[in-house]
Structure 1
Amino acid sequence: MACEIIADWYEAAIERQGDALAAQNAALANLQMTSAYFVAAEVGAAACFLLIYTPPPFSLIAFGICEVTALAAMAAAAYSMDVYLDQFNEATDAYIAAEKLVAFLEEMLCKCEAQLALHIPTDETMQQAQAAFEEAEGVPIPDVDDSALDEAEAALDEAEAAMDEAEAYLDEHADEEEGAWPGI
């Protein structure tokens, strides 16, 4: 009976290791996507900055239209990268704990079976296995969702729309006199 319980814990530890690996992979995939969003937002911010070098005053207005949203997209992507890096690290800790638990429970299972064959009490082995199982179960596996990724993507979409708006604004005022301030 004791060996069967240890065998059940062993199976649960293997499953936990798989769950931790899945969380690692999900966090890493989201980290890669948010990194790409950050680069895209940074390129957008640089493109907005280049608008300053077109003739004023319309270039300054166009710059104002797009730069803030591009910087906000960079901030959202940076925040998302931080979230997913933390989740990746948590999942890695859980994976390592599960990996150690699998190895330990494998030892305890062999020891338990040998003790049963030799008619030696298994209470101590059972207690050691249970303590190790409970300790590893205490290491949380993060729930990796796409909410931070979605926020970064939405911010990038807003930045792209603002860039389009800035370009349309410049196109609209392309024929107006250089140096003429709107509304004056």
Structure 2
Amino acid sequence: MTATTSRPSGQELGANAPGIAAPGTPNTVLADLREAAETYADRYLVVEMYAVNPDGGVLNPGDSASFKVRVHNNGPLDVRDLTVVLTGRNGTRVGRHGWTNGQSSYGSAVLDKVPAHMFDGDWVDVVDDDHDHFHFWVHSTMPESDLVTVTVQDWNLDLLHLLNAHTDPGTTPHFVYRDEVHPA
């Protein structure tokens, strides 16, 4: 009886998988991953300030307004532990609901997860200690001025979605066992 094993044509034991550099060849996977992580927020996250509700509909120096902040992720990775920083411009003060005057900048509470591949129109609201909105206080006297900026301050990327949701069963056999079969 003679048994043989084989691998599909062109595949040898120890051979590099497609896309993997041969030994001695520069491999940029880790550098590319680092660059993708560093630019992820700018490339895939959309941050929006909405539902701005000024007292009386017109802003005057000394007025306050409430607003909400939301985030959309159209990238391939889940974003974890996201915080945003609200910054007052041109003398504007910012803060959380319930404050009476605010400060020049304010960092939000941590947002647990902004999922990957969000559909158009899907958003995750930034909630700060059970309050769903923030406030700003106007101190500017310029007719048109930038009053508030919202910036992603900190985040972590979660590779589990990419590694688990983007893996499908392969169709190419990785090993074939062959043996002689004799009728009984």
TM-score past 0.5 threshold: no
Higher helix content, 1 or 2 = 1
Per the normalisation by structure 2, the TM-score is 0.23
Per the normalisation by structure 1, the TM-score is 0.23
Higher strand content, 1 or 2 = 2
Higher relative contact order (CA 8 A, sep 6+): 1
